[in-house]
Every structure is written in C-alpha cells, then in structure tokens.
Amino acid sequence: MPSYRIIKAIVAAVLLHIGFAGYRLLPVLGDFHPIGFLLPMGELMLVFVLLSPGTSRKTTTAAALALLSFLVFFGVGEIFYRLIYMEHFSPIYDMQLIPNFFVMMLQRTGLPAVPIRIASVIITLAALLASAYALLILIRETSRIFLGSRKMKILVSALALLFILVAPPFSPSAQTLAALLHKPEAPALSAPPPVEEPTQEWNFAAIEDSSIHFVVVESYGAALFQKQEYIPLMSGVYADLQRLLDEHELAVKSGFVRSPAFGGRSWLADATILTGVQIENQKIYDARVADGERAWWLELMQRSGYTCYYVAPGTSQADAQWRYAYPFDVYLLQNDFQYEGPPISFGLTTDQYLLHEFAANYLQNDMKQFAFYLLVSAHTPFDRIPVYKEDWQFPLKGREYADGYVRYFENNWLHGNELAEGYIEGMSYSLTSTIHYLTDKVSGKKFMLIIGDHQPRIPVSGPNPGYPVIFHIIYSQEFHLAFPDSWTLSNALVPPTLPANYQDIPEMAAIPSLIEKIIR
C-alpha cells in the first residue's frame, strides 16, 4: 500500500499540472483543442528533474527558478488572452503591453504614466519570482520522492523533450519559439496603389474631393445581431438615427467585415484600416513600425492633397518611429482636448465632447481634410456611459457631466451585473454622437465611414462570436457611388443578415481599397 508521502506527492503533481496546463481548457477562436489538457507539460517535467536529488544545487536551482518564472508568466498571459481576446499569448511580443495595461487600469487616479510603467515592471518581476520560488519549494519536495534514481531522471528528461517536440502547440517554450521565428507572408496590399492623375478637377470625382471622415467605434461588433436580446434594444436607436439621415438627405450602405482582433487590442484594427493589411498580432504590428512601412491610405490621402488628422483620446503618446509609419499631419492625443470633466472610460473625455472640440477648432470648409477618429466612450467595462445632449456647446470644458449626466452600471473589469445594459447604452451613445456630428457639425457634402474595431469581450458577446464587426458608409445622396457586387450591403443603418459562415465575410483590410474604389 503506498505511503502517505507518495500519495501526497501524486496529489501535488496533479495539482501542479492542473495549475500550469489549465489554460488549455479555455477556448481560442479557430484553434481549440481541450484534449491537450491531458498532455503532460514537458517544461514542468524538466523543472522536476532540475530540482531532483543529486543535481548541482546553485546552477540547477537558478535554472529551475527561471523556467518556473517563464511558465507562470506564460500561463497567466494565456489565461488573460484567452478570457479577454480569445487568442494565444506571445511572451516576446505581448509582454510590452503590461505597462500599458497598468496605465489603463490606474488612469482615473490621475497618477503620471511613467511612474506607473516603471512600477508595473517591478511589480510583475517581483510577483513572478515570488510565485516561482514558492512553487520551487513544493516541487523540490515532490521530486525527491519520484526522481531518486539516475534512470528515472533520464527517463523523465527524455519524456519531457518528447512532449515538447511532438506536441509543440501545447508547449509554452515551443509556442514562444515558433512565434519568434514565424515570418508572416508579404501581404497583397503592402504598398499603396498608384495615385492616378485626375481626369478632371478632382482626385476623387465621385465625392468631388469632399472631406473624408473615418470613425472607429469601440466594441461595435456583430454581437448586436448575434445575441437575440440585443436586437430589440438597438432597433429604436437605429430607427431614430435612420430618420435623421433621411432628413439630411444622406444615403447609407452597411455590412460586416472581419476584424483582426477580438475583445480588445483596438490598435490592430486601427492599423488594418490605415494600411490595408490584416494585422492580426503584435508581431506584425511592431514589425511594420520598426521597418518604417508607411500606411498606404495616409499616403494616398496626402498625395491627393488632403490634410490628415489623428483624433485619439485613448492615446497618451506617439513616438517618432510610430509617427513615421502613420504620418498624419496633425496628432490630437489624450491631453490635447482641454477636457475638465469627470473621466469617462479609457479615453477620459466623452465622444460628444471630442467631436465637438474637433469641429470647433479644426473643421474647415475650404480644405480637403481626412480625419481618423477613435471613439472610446463605450470601452470595456461599460460601467459609466455619458448622456448625449444635442444642444451642448461645452463652455465648461466637460464639467457639465458632473451634474448627473453620466449613467453608471454595475460592471467592472472582472465581472458585471449590467453588462448588456452598459454595452447597449454605450453603442447607442457612440452612434448617436457620431451621426449627429455628421449631420449637425460637418457642413457641405459629406462622406463618412463608421466601423467597429472588434467584438465586445466575453460574456458581452455570445457563444462562438467570431471576428465580425459592423460598418456603415454614409454619404450625400447627390453622390452616385458604385459599390462592387462582391460586397453584401444593405441600404440602411441596419446591416444585412449575418452569414452563417464568418469566413464568407470580407477582411477588414479590404475596407480602404473599397473606399478608394467607390470615391474615384
């Protein structure tokens, strides 16, 4: 009969496996194999060998501590990415986002971003080393029982390497190495199409060189039509806004595209729209910036005589290398709007205030302007959504909201009791702010793209949500735009029926080439 020590060691080994491999049970869009949870983790087996009796104490302990720290970091990252983004975590490329996450969580405290970033690195390293050291003590005790003989150490080492080599998708080290070595294929739209010499007085004859507005709405995903309970809640919003468009003689085409991201990482979608390349992960995003590949849509706009504006209340800074890859003429970031009201969501300011300030200070009828707006009032966790007031001119720089013009919902970053209510309110607010901006603030002939960046995170999205997001192309009815037959579009704000197979939906990367084609 096995002794108490052996039973205790077996239980400890099983619990360690559950702790380190448990992330495999969480779904990943398009790549989910829960049976992999049963496969032993080769790296964890190597830690057992390194801490077994008879090994060099200092050298192997340091190696085991480093490997355990990596496994803890990888496991926590996988859990977070799978729960929020339904994607795999890449330690090499995604770890740089940790300081940004701390800044996002603590921005409402008013603390400066730089100290938060430094503290985030120190806290993360300290937490990793502390947890790895505690696990090291437990594993050392367990390894003494199982790995007392030299033959057993050799056998376990061989099995560990076998599991790493034979099942790399379930190996943290193999998965990390594969991400590091993988080189994406050159995209078809990596360079801008040539700017044709205008055959008449306009570069974009179909819209008579009118100003162009691209509005990216946070979390504006197909979940609004995938979850049946959302449809009646949004139907009134769409009906009211459709009437407003009709009153101002504005036509609209609506449809779906596949975003490169889910539940977050909006910058991947923003970059996709500007480059015409489906930027699906941080590695591709960073590589384009590092290589100085310029966004072709911006080059197209500037070569056609347009002044380009980056209107991003959720962005606190943009370094020179990023600005070279995304060469706007004017960058309006988080602290450039003189907002003095209560902080709202990720961008601090509100969508209505942001659009009002841009209209008041930058819109000009005698210029060809391209503006790229990133709206963030409807950002996760959908806990506070401002009220839209049609007649506001904001003489108090946003302090107007302090008088009860913000709706609060019982939601936070971990869970929520009013997620559906907060989400619907956020979508209604952002769409209302945007379309009233187009009808009330933008004068003359109009052309606007409204597009979601990604689906809302689980559980706001339903089961099997995929990557589809909603887009609208709104333009003056006097423009006669020819849309390709290959696109399935409705003639209203309500988009057409969502295809059962999401792969039938065009990629978001096709949007800029569609726009370029119809405005010629």
Tens digit of each residue's pLDDT (9 = 90 or more) over 261-303: 998 899 999 999 999 999 998 888 998 999 999 999 999 999 9
Whether the predicted pLDDT of 183 surpasses 70: no
Reduced to 3 states, what is the DSSP secondary structure of residue 492? coil
Radius of gyration over alpha carbons of the chain, in Å? 26
Tens digit of each residue's pLDDT (9 = 90 or more) over 155-177: 888 988 888 887 778 888 888 88
Which are the contacts of 420, defined by CB distance < 8 A and separation ≥ 6?
229, 230, 233, 460
Q: Which residues make beta-bridge pairs with 25?
A: none
Helix (H) or strand (E) holding 471: strand 468-476
At 191, the pLDDT band (50, 70, 90 cuts) reads very low
Q: What is the pLDDT of residue 189?
A: 44
Tens digit of each residue's pLDDT (9 = 90 or more) over 394-413: 999 999 998 889 999 999 87
Angle of CA points 34, 37, 41, to nearest 5°:
145
| 341-345: long-range pairs with CB below 8 Å, 24+ | 341/396, 341/397, 341/398, 341/399, 341/400, 341/401, 341/402, 342/398, 342/401, 342/402, 342/406, 343/107, 343/108, 344/377, 344/384, 344/385, 344/386, 344/401, 344/406, 345/376, 345/377, 345/378, 345/379, 345/384
Tens digit of each residue's pLDDT (9 = 90 or more) over 399-455: 999 888 999 999 987 788 999 999 999 999 999 999 999 999 999 999 999 999 999
**High-pLDDT (> 70) share of the chain, %:** 93
Residue 433 sits at φ, ψ, to 5 deg, of -60, -45
Whether the predicted pLDDT of 358 surpasses 60: yes
Q: Which residues of 330-368 are buried (b: 16+ CB within 10 A; e: fewer)?
A: ebbbbebbebebbbbbbbbbbbbbbbbbbeeeebeeeeb
**High-pLDDT (> 90) share of the chain, %:** 51
Q: What is the pLDDT of residue 185?
A: 55
